[in-house]
Amino acid sequence: MDKEQWAAVDQYINTLLDPPDAALDDALRASAAAGLPEIAVSPSHGALLTVLARAVGARRILEIGTLGGYSAIRLARALPPDGRLVTLEVNPRHAEVARSNIARAGLADRVEVRLGPALASLAALAGQGGDPFDLVFIDADKAGYTEYLHASLRLSRPGTLIIADNVVRQGRVIEPGDEDVNVRGARRFNEALAAEPRLMATIVQTVGVKGYDGLAIGVVLG
């Protein structure tokens, strides 16, 4: 079992279950052409986000870390026509590419890309006092994950699903000597998740076209 096989099986899953989609292909193409890093969730993980959002009947979704809008499109596809997704992005160029990709996918009416550091946008959202989010997807800078988790909890209700990408980092999270900033951020987040009485959570290890990593999935308790 190696990376090539993980990628081949990922491809098999996509061929079976994820029909070709012009808006998603265009979003990835436009993002690459604009020079954005190619670190969007994989197609099968994008499909998982759609399934989970639909499973919880999400009407309000919060995403932290937009990049070119690939995962935002996957998540927004699960929304009803009057649903809403707010996605937070600090890089103006990423936000601009994302807005264009989201508009091309026909989702501009449902998706708001908010430019600025996520922590500031999260504080602003809390200050606005809107309805709680039904699903939160955390996928920005790993060093900030713990703070994003705590801010997300303030914007949640019992039953809100909180998902975080990249929390296993090729298994490096269990290497105590590994002080890489992303590994440390993921490790600190996983410990905060474990210590959080308001959440029931687990971590799913994943393999596929992006290699070996993991997704944290938790539900806010009543």
- Residues in contact with ligand DHB by CB under 6 A are 39, 139, 165-166
Task: Tell me the helix, strand and coil percentages in the chain, rounded to 5.
Answer: 45, 20, 35
Q: State the binding partner of 97 from Mg ion, ligand SAH, ligand DHB, none, CB within 5 to 8 A by kind.
A: none
**Per CB under 6 A, 89 contacts ligand SAH:** yes
Of positions 166, 185, 189, 193, contacts Mg ion by CB under 5 A: 166
Say whether residue 102 binds ligand SAH (CB under 6 A): no
- Looking at residue 200, its amino acid is M
Kindly tell me which of 64 and 86 has the beta carbon lying closer to ligand DHB: 64
Does position 165 bind Mg ion by CB under 5 A? yes
Region of residue 208 (phi > 0: left; psi between -120 and 50: alpha; otherwise: beta): left
18 by DSSP, 3-state: which?
Answer: coil
Number of residues that bind ligand SAH (CB under 6 A): 19
CB of 52 to ligand SAH, least distance (A): 14
Residue 160 CB partners (closer than 8 Å, separation 6+): 132, 133, 134, 135, 136, 219, 220
What is the H or E stretch that residue 60 is in?
strand 60-64
144 sits near ligand SAH (criterion: CB under 6 A): yes
- Which of 76, 140, 149, 217 is in the footprint of ligand SAH by CB under 6 A? 140
